[in-house]
Amino acid sequence: MSTPEGFVAVEDLVPGMQVETADNGLQTLLWVGSITMVPPAGDIDGVEAPRLTRISTEAFGPDRPLPDLILGPYARLLYKNVRCMDVLGTASAFVPAEAFRDGLSVIAVSPIAPVRVYHLGFAGQQTLRANGLDVESYHPGPQFGARMDRTTLQLFLSLFPHASGREGFGPMKIPRMTSYEFETLGEL
In a domain, 136, yes or no: yes
What's the mean pLDDT when you consider all of the chain? 89
Domain-located, residue 161: yes
Q: What CA–CA distance (Å, rounded) separates 173 from 129? A: 17
In a domain, 16, yes or no: yes
pLDDT at 187 exceeding the cut of 60: no
Residue 25 belongs to some domain of the structure: yes
> Is residue 170 in a domain?
yes
Q: Is residue 45 part of a domain?
A: no
Order of all β-strands in the sheet with 133-136:
92-96, 76-80, 133-136, 127-130
Q: Which pLDDT band holds residue 164 (cuts at 50, 70, 90)? A: confident
CA–CA separation, 58 vs 107, rounded Å? 14
More confident residue, 78 or 142: 78
Per-residue pLDDT reduced to its tens digit, 86-114:
777 888 999 999 999 999 999 999 888 89
DSSP the chain: -EETTEE--GGG--TT-EEE-SSS-EEE--EEEEEEE----S-BTTBPPP-EEEE-TTTTSTTSSSS-EEE-TT-EEEEE-TTHHHHHSSSEEEEEGGGG--SSSEEEE--SS-EEEEEEE-SS--EEEETTEEEEPB---TTTTTT--HHHHHHHHHT-TT-SSGGGG----S-B--HHHHHHHTT-
Name the band, by pLDDT with cuts 50, 70 and 90, for residue 188. Answer: very low
Domain that holds residue 151: 2-39+50-187
Among the listed residues 162, 68, 10, the one whose alpha carbon sits nearest the alpha carbon of residue 19: 10
Cα distance between residue 65 and residue 131, in whole Å? 5
Residue 171 belongs to some domain of the structure: yes
Count up the domains in the chain and report the number: 1
pLDDT 10s digits, 4-55:
999 999 999 999 999 999 999 999 999 999 999 888 766 666 667 778 999 9
Tell me the CATH number at 125.
2.170.16.10
73 touches 96 (CB < 8 A) = no
Assess if residue 44 is contained within a domain.
no
Q: What is the pLDDT of residue 29?
A: 96
Look at residue 43 in the predicted model and tell me its pLDDT.
63
